[in-house]
Structure 1
Amino acid sequence: MSDAAVNSGVGPVVELRRVTRSFEQGGVRIDVLRGVDLKVMPGEIVALLGPSGSGKSTMLQAVGLLEGGFGGTIVIAGQPAEKSDSKQRTTLRRDHLGFVYQFHHLLPDFNAIENVVLPQLVGGTSREVAEGRAKELLIALGLGKRLEHRPSQLSGGEQQRVAVARALANKPKLVLADEPTGNLDEATSEKVLEQFLDLVRGQGSAALVATHNERLAAKMDRVVRLHEGLLE
């Protein structure tokens, strides 16, 4: 975590206060989140640890404002998100958040550069600047010779590196990563995670990374554990 952020008294990038989420399944109420409290400070990388089915993805969906139905308070970059309308939530996601998923979700008809350029154009960046930023990130991720390749021409690890570049392209305050290397073999997983963490730290972003892997979680600044709907 950035010492400057702590010492300057800067507030959290995201704060969750008593966040809840329940589902009805077969007439039975399932409480996935039962009052989650969490603060992530600027520049801090937090591992969200828990087994499959513990609610990690649900919690990231809450932080990412990706669906409704959540109770409690979610504050992103000082703005209470639960009081925002759909347009305001879209703006919060665009201006402050980046996303990396277990599966890359790249656009199949666009090459690596184009996949990283597009979110920047949506955010109002000029094409020239966006292409420069895309090349910078992809080269840093070891893809300098794969810039013009489409996802189908890339390996699984290369596809996920493009997804990492896309998530970081707009220099978000907070990157949300849901098992970002869970679909890769162990060696590739280690390499991609190290590159991801280096880039996040290098640009001063914070990150909340969901994983079930204790070894990967240990590489981050802090570990929180989701157990029976609460953080430990």
Structure 2
Amino acid sequence: MNVQEPHVGAERGAPVVRIEKLTRSFEQGGVTIDVLRGVDLVIRPGEIVALLGPSGSGKSTMLQAIGLLEGGFGGHIEIAGINASKLGKDERAWVRRDHIGFVYQFHHLLPDFNAIENVVLPQLITGKPREECEERARELLGALGLGQRLEHRPSKLSGGEQQRVAVARALANRPRLVLADEPTGNLDEATADKVFDQFLRLVRGQGSAALVATHNERLAQGMDRVVRLHDGVLQ
């Protein structure tokens, strides 16, 4: 088995992610399409990995598998030492809540809640006291340059500001793993660079591992390691 191992300088703790022989197929018009054909990957604590590949190569499908967002996958998926391959729906939700943060290309903020409330809510779900949740939200949003925008709803924020709130929300519960799917794909280049630099700084600062799907070679070079998805396997 050709498991993609981290570079020599990576932290050598127990893996945050281990997937082995991951497969996913779809039926379309009576034809079977093999999107993932046996993907192997290990990501260790604190390591930020770029997942490169053209549109349609299966990057988002792979993130959905690792994020335990849907079924239908074959192979072994282990998150933070938990064998997630055979977990039920409720158990998968628990692993996502406690161990994984998500950042998408579109921010998916709750439109009726302001910036700080969008970052507080995922923390409240874990049972933390509101005061502690608000303190954490202010800390993250301040670090992202949004200290003066806490009370603004998403419709009153720019695209870059919306995506910064989404980053804060993903990191609010200090996840072991952050999954990001083209996290700056909807932003202009200058704004994308700034948001992405802030994202990397915060992820590194709290010691999370991250897998970032992108088609941007330049952004990928700022991460610890690059893997490429081609023809359903990693290279």
- Structure 2 distance, partners of 1:211, 1:93, is 22
Per-residue Cα deviation, 1:13-63 (whole angstroms, up to 9, x for no partner): 010000000000111100000000000000000000001110000000000
1:190 aligns with 2:193: yes
Give me the whole-angstrom Cα distance separating, in 2, the residues matched to 1:181 and 1:98: 16
Q: How far has the Cα of 1:3 moved from its partner?
A: 6.4
Preserved CA contact (<8 Å) 2:113 2:153: yes
Contact 2:180 2:210 in 1 (8 A): yes
Aligned structure 1 segments of 4 or more residues deviating by more than 4 angstroms: 1-4
Partner of 2:39: 36
Structure 2: which amino acid aligns with 1:24?
E
Structure 1 residue runs without a partner (length 5+): none
Matched with 2:115 is: 112
1:22 aligns with 2:39: no
**Which residue in 2 is equivalent to 1:62?**
65
Which residue of 202, 207, 211 corresponds with 2:210? 207
Letter in 1 for 2:181: D
User: 1:150: Cα distance to partner?
Assistant: 0.1
1:141 partnered with 2:144: yes
C-alpha separation in 2, matches of 1:30 and 1:96: 31
Structure 2 contact 180–212 (Cα < 8 Å) conserved: yes
Contact kept, 8 Å, 2:11 with 2:47, in 1: the verdict is no
2:3 alignment partner in structure 1: none
How far the C-alpha of 1:5 sits from its partner, in A, is 3.7
Of the three residues 215, 225, 229, the one matched with 1:226 is: 229
Q: Which of 155, 158, 173 is the matching residue for 2:158?
A: 155
Distance 1:157 1:4 in 2: 31
Partner of residue 175, structure 2: 172
Partners of 1:91 and 1:4 in 2: how far apart?
Answer: 28
Cα RMSD, aligned residues only: 1.2
Tell me what 1:45 maps to.
48
Question: 1:98-133: per-residue Cα shift (whole Å, max 9, x none)?
Answer: 000000000000000000000000011110000000
Take 2:196 and 2:19, find their aligned partners in 1: how far apart are those partners? 25
Cα pair 2:105 2:186 within 8 Å, conserved: yes
| Partner Cα distance (1:12, 1:47) in 2 | 17
- Report SS of the residue matched to 1:209: strand
Change (3 A) 1:61 1:129: same
Q: Aligned to 2:85, what secondary structure does the other structure show?
A: helix
2:181, 2:214 within 8 Å by CA — same for their partners in 1? Answer: yes
> 2:86 maps to which residue?
83
Unaligned runs of 5+ in 2: 1-5
> 1:83 aligns to what SS in structure 2?
coil
| Distance in 2, Cα, partners of 1:223 & 1:31 | 23
Percent same amino acid at aligned positions?
Answer: 76
8 Å CA contact retained: 2:24, 2:35: yes
Q: Is 2:75 aligned against 1:72? A: yes
Q: Which amino acid aligns with 1:115?
A: N
TM-score by length of 2: 0.96
Counterpart of 1:147 in structure 2: which amino acid?
A: L
